[in-house]
A and B are shown apart, each in its own frame.
Chain A
Amino acid sequence: MAKKEKIFLTVLFVIFVVAWFFAARSLPDTKEAFSTLGHRWVVTIGNFSFNPATIIMSAVLTALIVWFAVSVRKEMKIVPSRKQSIVEWLFESFYQMVEDTVPDERFVKPTFVVATTLFIYIWLSNMIGSIPGISFVGFEDGTLKEIALFTDTWQPPTADLNTNLTYALMVFVISHAFAIKAKGLKAWLKSWFEPNPVMLPMNVIGELAKPLSHSLRLFGNIAGGGILVFIFSYLVKYFLLPVFLWGFFGIFVGTIQALVFAILAIAYISAQLT
C-alpha cells in the first residue's frame, strides 16, 4: 500500500469514528430497540394475512433474476462473455451433480431445472440479507411501526417460513409425482408398506418430516442469523462489527444454506426414484 493510501484510509477511519460517536448517541435505548425484535409487519384482509415485506422483496428479486436472465440470453455467443460463463459454469456443475445422483435418465432434466431454480432464487434472497437497507419494523400485533433506514439489512424472503415451506412442499409434491410417473401408481402405493404394513405410520411420518426439516433449516439459519446480527449490532452500537457479521451470516451461511437446500431437493427427488 502506498503512503498516500495509508493516510487516506486513516483519515477516513478517524472521520468514521467521530461520525459514529455522534450518531450512536441518538440510538434508542435497549428496551425500545428490542421491542420490535422478531415481529413483522402483517396486513390482514378478511381471513387472510399477508407479509408485505416478503411479497415486495420476492417481487423485486424475481424481477432482478428475470432481467439478468434476459440480458444473458440476449448476448449469447459461442465465445462466452464473463456473465455468460458464470451462468454456464453454474448450470454445468448443477447438471453434473443431478446426473450423478438421479438414477432415472428421464428425470434428470426436470430435477435439474427445479434444483437450479431453487438455488438461484434462494441464494439471491440470502444475499439480500447481507446488504444494509430498508426494513419494515412491526409491532407485536403486526401493525407497522416504522420503515427503518440502514439499521438492519433488507428483509430476505427466505427469513419468512411461508416462502421456505412453499418450496419444501413443492419439492415434496414433485418428488412423489415423479415417483408415481417412474414406478407406476401400484408400486408407489406399495412403497408405503415397505418392508411390512406395520411400518406404514413410520413411513408417513418419515415422509412428512422431510419438508418440515427442509424448510425449517433454511428459515432458522436466515431468520435466526438476522436476529442475532441485529442484537450484536445494537450491543456494539453499530461500530464496525456489523459489517463482518453481515458478511458471515449473509454471504457465507447464505451460500451454504442455498446449496444445501438445492442438494437436499435433488436427494429427496432421487430417493423417491430408486
Chain B
Amino acid sequence: MENMDLARAIYLAGKAIGAGLAMGIGAIGPGVGEGNIGAHAMDAMARQPEMMGAITTRMLLADAVAESTGIYSLLIAFLIIFAL
C-alpha cells in the first residue's frame, strides 16, 4: 500500500466509488418496483386466498422483470471493477 503512487490511488478510489454508486442508485428502482408488486400481490391474495398459487407465480415473474434494471447496474458495477 505504501509504494502506491497518487494516480493509482485516485484510479482505485474512482473505481470503488463508481461501482458503489452504480449499484446503490441502481437498486432503488427495482426496490420500489418489487415492493409495489409484492404489496399488490398480498392485497390480491388477501382478497382471494384461493388464487394464491396463480398469483405467486405471476408475482415472481413480474419481480424478475422489475429486477432487470438492478441487474443491469450489477453488470455495470462488475464491469467497472473487473474490466476497467
- On A, residues with C-beta under 8 Å from B are 37-39, 213, 216-217, 219-221, 223-224, 227, 253, 256-257, 259-260, 263-264
A38 adjacent to B78 (CB under 8 Å): yes
Q: Does B21 contact A (CB under 8 A)?
A: no
Q: Would you call B68 and A220 a contact (CB within 8 A)?
A: yes
B12 within 8 A of A: no
How far apart sit A223 and B82, CA to CA, in the bound complex (Å)?
Answer: 13
- Complex contact B64–A260 (CB within 8 A): yes
In-complex Cβ contact of A260 among B61, B74, B75, B82 (8 A): B61
**Chain B min CB distance to A268 (Å):** 13
- Grouping DSSP codes into helix (H, G, I), strand (E, B) and loop, the A interface class, with mixed when no group exceeds half, is helix
- Name the B residues within 8 Å of A256 (CB-CB): 60-61, 63-64
Known A-B contacts A217-B71, A224-B74, A227-B78; the reply to A38 vs B83 at CB < 8 A is: yes
Given contact pairs A216-B68, A227-B78, a sample of 15 additional A-B residue pairs in the complex whose CB atoms are under 8 Å apart: A37-B82, A38-B78, A38-B81, A38-B83, A213-B68, A216-B71, A216-B75, A217-B71, A220-B75, A221-B64, A253-B64, A256-B63, A259-B64, A263-B61, A264-B65
Whether the pair B72, A220 counts as a contact (CB closer than 8 A) is yes
Max count, chain A CB within 10 A of own CB: residue among B61, B64, B67: B64
CB distance from B34 to the nearest CB of A (A): 13
Give Cα A217 to B70, complex, Å. 10
- Across the interface, which residues of B come within 8 angstroms of A264, CB to CB? 65
Q: Which residues of A contact B67 (CB under 8 A)?
A: 221
With beta carbons under 8 angstroms apart, the residue of B61, B63, B78 that contacts A224 is: B78
Among residues 40 to 78 in chain B, which have CB atoms less than 8 Å away from a CB atom of chain A? Answer: 60-61, 63-65, 67-68, 71-72, 74-75, 78
B70 (CB) vs chain A CBs: closest residue: A220
The residue in chain A whose Cβ has the minimal distance to the Cβ of B68 is: A217
